Amino acid sequence: MTKNERQEIARERWRNAKGKGCFIHPTGFGKTYETSVLIDKVLTKTSGIGKVLILVPFVNLIKQWQESIDKLVVNKDNVQIMTVQLYVMNNYHESPLLLVLDELDEFYGEERIKIVKGITCAYKFVVGLTATPHDKTGRQLIAFQYIPIVDEITEQEALDNKWISDYKQYNLKIELNENERKEYDTLTEIIGSCFGKFHSFEHAMSVLTGNKETGEAGYQIAIKHAMFNGWKNNMDLSITANQEINNVWNPNKIIGYAKTFNEAVRIRNTLLDLGQEKFDTTLRLISKFLNTKTIIFSNSIAFANKIHLLINQKHQIKDNLFDNNYPYCVLYHSDMESQYVFVPEKNKKVKYGVKKLKEYYLNLVRQGFSKAIASAKALDKGLDIKDIRLAIIAGGNSTTNRQKQREGRAKRLETLPHDKPVIIINLYYADTKEERDLKDRQKRSLKSKIQYIDDIDDVNLDEEEQEITI
pLDDT in tens, 103-141: 988 888 889 999 999 999 999 999 999 987 665 555 667
**Residues 160 and 448: beta-carbon distance below 8 Å:** no
Q: For residue 190, what pLDDT is reported?
A: 97
**Residues 295 and 333: beta-carbon distance below 8 Å:** no
Domain 167-175+275-465 classification at class level:
alpha beta
The segments of the chain whose pLDDT lies below 70 read: 133-140, 213, 317-325, 377-386, 396-419, 462-470
Distance of CA 410 to CAs 151, 255, 313, 381, Å?
24, 43, 25, 11
Q: For residue 400, what pLDDT is reported?
A: 47
Calpha distance 386→388 (Å, rounded): 6
Give the β-pairing of 422-429 and 167-174.
Answer: parallel
On whether the pTM is more than 0.85, the answer is: no
- How many Å separate Cα 356 from the centre of its chain? 22
Domain 3-154 has CATH 3.20.140.10: no
Q: For residue 414, what pLDDT is reported?
A: 45
Q: Which residues contact 159 (CB under 8 A, 6 or more apart)?
A: 166, 446
Q: For residue 135, what pLDDT is reported?
A: 57
Q: Where in the chain is the domain with CATH 3.40.50.300?
A: 3-154, 167-175+275-465
Q: For residue 446, what pLDDT is reported?
A: 79
Ordered alpha helix ranges (H), 231-389: 240-249, 251-273, 276-288, 301-314, 354-366
Distance of CA 179 to CAs 190, 232, 273, Å?
17, 43, 15
CA neighbours within 13 Å on the CB side: how many for 9? 10
Q: For residue 225, what pLDDT is reported?
A: 94
The residue among 199, 169, 67, 54 whose CA lies nearest residue 115 is: 54
Q: For residue 345, what pLDDT is reported?
A: 76
Give the β-pairing of 125-130 and 98-101.
Answer: parallel
